[in-house]
Amino acid sequence: MTSLAKKSVHSALSLVLVIGAFAAYPARASTSVPGQQSSLTPLQLEIEKQARRLESAETEERRDAVTRLGSMRHPAASRAALPALHDPSAIVRATSAAAVLSLPASESVGYLVPLLADKDEFVRREVAFALGKTHNQMAAQPLIERLTSDKQNSVRGAAAVALGELKEAAATVSLAEILSPGVASATARSGKKSKKEKDLFLLRAAARSLGQIGNRVGVPALVAALQDEQTSDDVRRESAIALGLIGDATAIPALLTVVSARDPYLAEAAREAIRKIESQPKPLIGG
């Protein structure tokens, strides 16, 4: 297909989506001039204006139009931004990921998931972050696959953050394996040596998400990271905080070992985690 034909298809798609979006939102009452069509509301006019800017040859203008549509936080504006998900420019595609989030969650997930396979790292990363904000479990499995298979740590870290926002229990083992290789996975039981992750953003995201998810299966990996003095203090702090969120008393001995750590923030995180765990309601015996 020629570039002219592609542009024509893109323009037609933009117009169809804008018209479809407006159909759900009635226009104002007719003006007093006989035969004149109903006027558009200010919102509809602004959406139409930004949708037409998506046809510009200038990348920055298209990116700005998508940003403005997203800032409206309205389903009609998000629908008008949909063509930008397939824009030839990576920066426009990446920006559009957040712009479509005012659609119903299941719908926005359906549009975003295919972009997890985008050739551009920045696009995949922003799409992963956006999927977490949908709070829709349909996004969980695609994010787990990206967490475990993407070659770029920035994308894997974004997937880890998103899975924490989704509170997806099925991601616990994968996150634990990233944080403390071999502790929670079948890989260790099979005798294979796991790779030690070094990306601090990815490790912190994995620890934090394990705490948000709250599954006790993640406790051994968090304890291992907490007690590993070769691990960054930032990661150890996140691990301590996560253990407090999970609330499993079996973590208290490990937390006690760092309450006098050289890093005062780590020590305080451990003390606060212990307080949270000890404040948990005790199960009734024989009740």
How far apart, in whole angstroms, are the C-alpha atoms of residue 211 and residue 228?
18
Q: What is the mean pLDDT of residues 207-231?
A: 97
Residue 193: which pLDDT band, with cuts at 50, 70 and 90? low
Q: Give the model's pLDDT for residue 183.
A: 82
Evaluate if residue 35 carries a pLDDT over 50. no
Q: Give the model's pLDDT for residue 280.
A: 85
- Cβ-based neighbours of 115, under 8 Å, separated by 6 or more: 85, 93, 97, 123, 124, 127
Return the CATH architecture of domain 43-103.
Alpha Horseshoe (1.25)
Quickly name the fold that domain 104-166 has. Leucine-rich Repeat Variant (1.25.10)
What are the pLDDT digits (tens) for 104-151?
Answer: 999 999 999 999 999 999 999 999 999 999 999 999 999 999 999 999
CATH class of 171-280: mainly alpha
Domain regions of the chain by residue span: 43-103, 104-166, 171-280
Maximal CA-CA distance, the chain:
82
Picking from 87, 134, 145, the residue whose alpha carbon sits closest to that of residue 112 is: 134
* Common-topology check for domains 43-103 and 104-166: yes
Mean pLDDT over the full length of the chain: 87
How far apart, in whole angstroms, are the C-alpha atoms of residue 105 and residue 120?
24
Q: Give the model's pLDDT for residue 32.
A: 40
Helix pair 121-134, 153-166: axis angle to 10 deg: 0
How far apart, in whole angstroms, are the C-alpha atoms of residue 80 and residue 248?
47
Q: Give the model's pLDDT for residue 185.
A: 53
Provide φ and ψ at 70, rounded to 5°. Answer: -65, -35
What are the pLDDT digits (tens) for 154-186?
Answer: 999 999 999 999 999 999 999 999 999 988 654
Task: Give the tokens for residue 183.
Answer: 């502790």
What are the pLDDT digits (tens) for 75-103?
Answer: 999 999 999 999 999 999 999 999 999 99
Q: Give the model's pLDDT for residue 98.
A: 98
